[in-house]
Structures are given as structure tokens and as C-alpha cells.
């Protein structure tokens, strides 16, 4: 009696493995392939916040931006970075203009803040 559930579980596992193995490769490549970055037409460098400079806070701020076909940014989402640096990066990104493209894109933009370099 104990062997029947084991056989059923094994048959189900085999079925699931084969089913997931049948996913078309083109679909998998679409998700994993990195799309080329969209070119920036107008780039604005963020101001280094004075409090962050005094505290010698450095690092990167990473932002995800949705850019429509005509090249302007419509939404942003902060992915990471120091809270002291984020607002400055967002303000600079608001002024960026990307080159037109056939469709909307999602771009990842990184700003690096370094107290010695600014």
C-alpha cells in the first residue's frame, strides 16, 4: 500500500518537470535578455546635498524610470540609495530627456555621489 502514493508522487513530479521543460526558449530569452539602454538627450547632474557632504555620505542612488516613446519620464521608483541623496537624484532625473523610441521603455539610472569628487 505504501508504494502506491510514492508512485503517484513520482508520476506527478515527472509530469511537472516535463511540463516546465516545455516552456519555449524564446519566452525565457525575452525575460533574461538585457535590452539596450536608451540614449539620453539631456542629462542633468544632481547637486550634492550639503548635509550629505558635511556628513561625508557617499554612494550610489539607483532609480527605475519609465520613459514614454517621446523621451520624457513619466514614473520613477527608487531601487536603492541613501535617504540623504535620493531627493537630489530624483530632482536631477526629472530634468533628463531621453531620445525618442518606438515604444515606452523602463530604464535603470544610477547616480554616484562622492564627497571628494564634488
**Segment 35-47, tens digit of pLDDT:** 568 999 999 999 9
Q: What is the pLDDT of residue 8?
A: 55
- Give pLDDT tens digits for 16-29: 444 444 433 333 22
For the ranges 13-22, 52-61, 87-96, 107-116, which has the lowest average pLDDT? 13-22
Domain-by-domain residue ranges, the chain?
Answer: 35-113
Give one DSSP letter per residue of the chain, joined into a string: -THHHHHHHHHHHHHHHHHHHTS-HHHHHHHHSPPPPPPEEE--PPPPPHHHHHTT--EEEEEEEEE-TTS-EEEEEEEE--HHHHHHHHHHHHT-EEPP-SS-EEEEEEEEE-TTT-
pLDDT band for position 65 (cuts 50, 70, 90): very high
Mean pLDDT over 70-89 rounds to 96
Please give the average per-residue pLDDT across 50-59, as a whole number. 93
| Claim: this prediction has a pTM higher than 0.85 | no
CATH among 3.40.50.970, 3.40.640.10, 3.40.470.10, 3.30.2420.10 for 35-113: 3.30.2420.10
The reported pLDDT for the residue numbered 116 is 73
Amino acid at each position: 500500500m505504501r508504494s502506491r502514493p510514492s508512485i503517484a508522487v513520482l508520476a506527478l513530479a515527472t509530469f511537472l518537470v516535463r511540463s516546465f521543460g516545455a516552456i519555449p526558449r524564446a519566452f525565457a530569452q525575452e525575460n533574461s535578455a538585457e535590452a539596450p539602454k536608451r540614449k539620453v538627450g539631456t542629462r542633468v547632474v544632481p547637486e550634492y546635498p550639503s548635509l550629505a557632504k558635511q556628513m561625508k555620505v557617499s554612494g550610489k542612488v539607483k532609480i527605475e524610470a519609465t520613459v514614454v516613446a517621446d523621451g520624457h519620464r513619466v514614473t520613477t521608483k527608487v531601487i536603492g540609495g541613501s535617504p540623504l541623496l535620493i531627493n537630489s537624484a530624483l530632482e536631477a532625473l526629472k530634468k533628463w530627456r531621453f531620445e525618442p523610441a518606438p515604444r515606452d521603455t523602463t530604464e535603470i539610472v544610477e547616480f554616484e555621489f562622492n564627497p571628494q569628487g564634488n
